[in-house]
Amino acid sequence: MTSVHSVTYGIRLLEFTVRRRERKTLEIAVEPDASVVVTAPIGATVEAIEAKVHKRAAWILKQQRYFSQFLPRTLEKRFVSGETHLYLGRQYRLRVSSGLKDQVSLKRGFIEVSSTRPNNRDFTKGLIDAWYLHRAHVKYRERLEASLERFAVPENFRPTGLIIRQLEMRWGSMSPAKRLMLNKRLIHAPVDAIDYVITHELCHIPEPNHGAAFYALLDRVMPDWSKRKDRLEEIMA
């Protein structure tokens, strides 16, 4: 029996998998891929497990930093023709050309950049970043409306606002004032993964914590959420 939970430690969000076993003590392990696994007694409460993880958070982060040095590094983008960039879970080749005005478009498997400064990589990066941000504003609002339809009374789960930011440690969050914040990097992820993050955060409107009631609601409105989460982490690693 396994479940996924998280605790906040400072500005960090520590996610961990709980495995319940016939045992008396609770054990926390950080795996070589930097994932956190908690082996807990069957009768241990979620609150007790989260408290223990929070108490050991400094040690967990230290172990994750150690293992992260051995993980594969994502090559830094150079923003030149020929390299690949992700958009909605698909790889597109970048094609930069000289043009009379600056614009970015998606055409037949290519991200086309028409630029007045085609040899300036920083300028190209700025154009592409602006295009991604624009697409995020359009796509996230579209997926928010689709995700709301998963709930019996959609308006009860409608956030008061949508904010898009560069987030370092999480894909999204829901404030006590019901403002939904999404990581702008999510625009690289597949639509089903974006829907998972949005739905996850909408479930926090009635259930602020990652307790049993929260996961019962998430399971009900999105039964395959764990598969979507796994795909998100695999593609965006």
Domain check: are 121 and 208 in the same one?
A: no
Element spanning 104, H or E = strand 103-107
DSSP single-letter state for residue 233: H
CA distance 197 to 7: 17
- Out of 17, 34, 68, a domain closes at 68
Q: How many domains would you assign to the chain?
A: 3
Is residue 73, in this structure, part of any structural domain at all? no
Q: What pLDDT digit, counting tens, does each position of 78-108 carry? A: 889 988 899 999 999 999 999 999 999 999 8
DSSP single-letter state for residue 154: G
Domain check: are 111 and 60 in the same one?
A: no
The pTM of this model reads 0.70
Is residue 78, in this structure, part of any structural domain at all? no
Residues facing 3 on adjacent strands: 18
Domain check: are 215 and 157 in the same one?
A: yes
CA distance 174 to 146: 18
- Domain coverage including residue 187: 141-236
Contacts of 201 (CB under 8 A, 6+ apart): 159, 172, 173, 174, 180, 182
Is residue 182, in this structure, part of any structural domain at all? yes
Domain check: are 165 and 219 in the same one?
A: yes
Domain check: are 60 and 98 in the same one?
A: no
Q: What pLDDT digit, counting tens, does each position of 131-188 carry? A: 999 999 999 999 999 999 999 999 999 999 999 998 877 899 999 899 999 999 999 9
Q: What pLDDT digit, counting tens, does each position of 196-229 carry? A: 999 999 999 999 988 899 999 999 999 999 999 8
Is residue 74, in this structure, part of any structural domain at all? no
Domain check: are 15 and 58 in the same one?
A: yes
